[in-house]
Structure 1
Amino acid sequence: MSRLIRRLLVAAAATALAVTVPTLTRTSADAAMTLPPAHAKFDYQIGGAYTPPVGVQVVTRDRTAAPAAGLYNICYVNAFQVQPGEQGQWAADLLLRDASGKLVIDQDWGEALLDLRTADKRNRIAAKVNGWIDGCAAAGYQAIEPDNYDSYTRSKKLLKATHAEAYLTLLATHAHSKNLAIGQKNTVELAGDRRAVGLDFAVAEECGQYDECADYVSAFGNHVIVIEYTDSGRRTACAQYAGTLSIVQRDVDVSVPGDPGYVRKTC
């Protein structure tokens, strides 16, 4: 399950435009969509659900977990890569392969990348992921967090930023049709395109650590959820945005209370 932002050379890829990104058309369904409250107390629980700490208003949990009663719930979906052990659940031609036919793998997390290079493949992949989004809506979630938007930076230059944007637009359109907000996960270099893609808020890992929070705020205003994994990153984010953004520090494994590595700190 991919969590940490990848600091790779993405500027050139982001400008290599080869796919037309469809413009999201807003519908009346968007009127029923509710954004995560800005500057709310937040907890990141994608590694396992547990009773939220006192005062928490917004929680992100994996799509396989039930939402937290009485809170604003964001449903985590690994939308651009395949969870380890789940490759058999995908058609073989939807998994990205290099020139030698080998799967392209995110080495940090052992996840195969999805092949977004053609409109047909994007539509087929979106059909499956939109089914997950339907499940999030049925369970009572209010928003979607599609992870690994930046998978194109790990694709051996086979994918482009515009492939990712075109695909995410399909997910955003579907999420809005279900009255769900949808967030941009990391990928700060594409934040300027968020309106065209149809993204409503941002989930930014380590923007304090890497001095990127201002770029997210420029694109999304105060609708930015900040997740840090180091004390220094949390201190930096808190020094700049404690009064305006939702900020939490978690351990890298996003573990649950009682685990030896569990960490949760706020401003």
Structure 2
Amino acid sequence: MRVRTGMLTVAMTVVAVVALAGCAATPGDGGGTGPGDTTARTSGSGFTNLPTSGIPDYQLGGSYTPPSGVTIVERDSTDRPAAGTYSICYVNGFQTQPGDARMWLRDHPSAVLRSADGKPVSDPGWPDEMLLDTTTAAKRSEIVDVLTTSIARCADRGFDAVEFDNLDSWTRSHGALTRAGNLALAAAFVRAGHDHGLAVGQKNTPQLGASGRKTTGFDFVVSEECVKYQECFAYTKAYGEHVIDIEYSDNIGRSWSSVCSDDDRPAMTILRDRDLVTPSSDDYVYEHC
């Protein structure tokens, strides 16, 4: 994981397994665009993909009036989109939000991953988040049913797109989860997002390569620190300019101007403070290339 903001976890998000991804959308279905495309496209299903140019902002730590010139804003699903921008909705798709733990354990106990002694399995880095159990079709269906409420809320409030965090939860499951199970759930999320008129973004996970778009059906990427970790080409090769990258001020390790002059970075690259605070805080950082 790369950043923690209050009750949100923005995680590193795997080679797709076709058999379990099943009915995942294929490139072009519902308006998905390939790496050669240069403009956003509205689909027959009604969603518009992430634009290939613009200035993004990443507001998961709290909403505020976007800086002048910002055209793309990501906010939590409990928030509302920023008026006049292409708006991305954040949903924690593979782990529980801290405030929702009681609901999952009370109403959907079988959807929470359990250890051999029956205890919920928590993320080692963020113990207030439990891993969701993606091991069977029935469990995945239950998870999608629960989170469809959030997906529908994103659409009803006017967001244009959604991204599902913690795709890589299987790497923190001590072998209980698999990439295949997580990708099957991801494909179901893609279908649900498209059904609600939303483009769907891949979160991190450069090892997916083109399969994230071609097999799982993602439309764009939200990356964290791909410049820092030299991962950007994996995203831009697969998605062209449909990529947003967020670098963090506490880990950048060089001047911002040198990042912006890096030929390998996505066109839409921004710098934020680690906690994604609002401008009212002295710790607030926001820059764009």
TM-score by length of 1: 0.90
Distance change >3 Å, CA 15–CA 61, structure 1 → 2 = closer
Cα RMSD for the two superposed structures = 2.3
Count residues in correspondence.
260
- 2:49 is aligned, of 26, 35, 44, to 35
Q: Percent identity?
A: 39
Q: Give the corresponding residue for 1:232.
A: 253
Helix, strand or coil at the partner of 1:77:
strand
In structure 1, the partner of 2:36 is none
Paired residues of 1:19 and 1:163 also in contact (CA < 8 A)? no
Match of 2:116 in 1: 99
Which runs of 5 or more residues in structure 1 are unaligned?
7-13
For each residue in 1:43-95, what CA deviation from the matched residue of structure 2 results, as whole angstroms up to 9, or x when unmatched?
A: 00011000000000000000011111111100011111111131111111111
Does the 8 A contact of 1:39 with 1:244 survive in 2? no
- C-alpha separation in 2, matches of 1:122 and 1:106: 19
SS in structure 2 opposite 1:131? helix
Q: Deviation of residue 244 (structure 1)?
A: 5.2
CA separation of 1:73 and 1:15: change in aligned 2, threshold 3 A: closer
* C-alpha contact 1:181 1:200 (8 A) present in aligned 2: yes
In structure 1, the partner of 2:281 is 259
How far is the alpha carbon of 1:260 from its aligned partner?
A: 2.8
Q: Does 1:128 align with 2:149?
A: no
Instruction: Name the amino acid aligned to 1:95.
Output: V
Task: Return closer, same or farther for 1:157/1:62 CA change in 2, 3 Å cut-off.
Answer: same
Shift, 1:107, TM fit: 2.8
Whole-Å separation in 1 of the counterparts to 2:195 and 2:218: 13
2:124 is aligned with what amino acid?
Q
Report Cα offsets for 1:95-133 as digits up to 9, x if no partner. Answer: 111222222211323311100000000001001112211
1:100 is matched by which residue type in structure 2? Answer: D
| 8 Å contact kept, 2:228–2:252 | no
Aligned residue for 1:5? Answer: 12
- Match in the other structure for 2:181: 163
Q: What secondary structure sits across from 2:130 in the alignment?
A: strand
- Separation (CA, whole Å) in 2 of partners of 1:211 and 1:242: 9
How has the CA–CA distance of structure 1 residues 115 and 237 changed in structure 2, closer, same or farther, with 3 Å as cutoff? Answer: farther
Point out where structure 2 has 5 or more consecutive residues left out of the alignment. 1-7, 32-41
Q: Does 1:137 align with 2:194?
A: no
Task: Give the match for residue 213 of structure 1.
Answer: 232
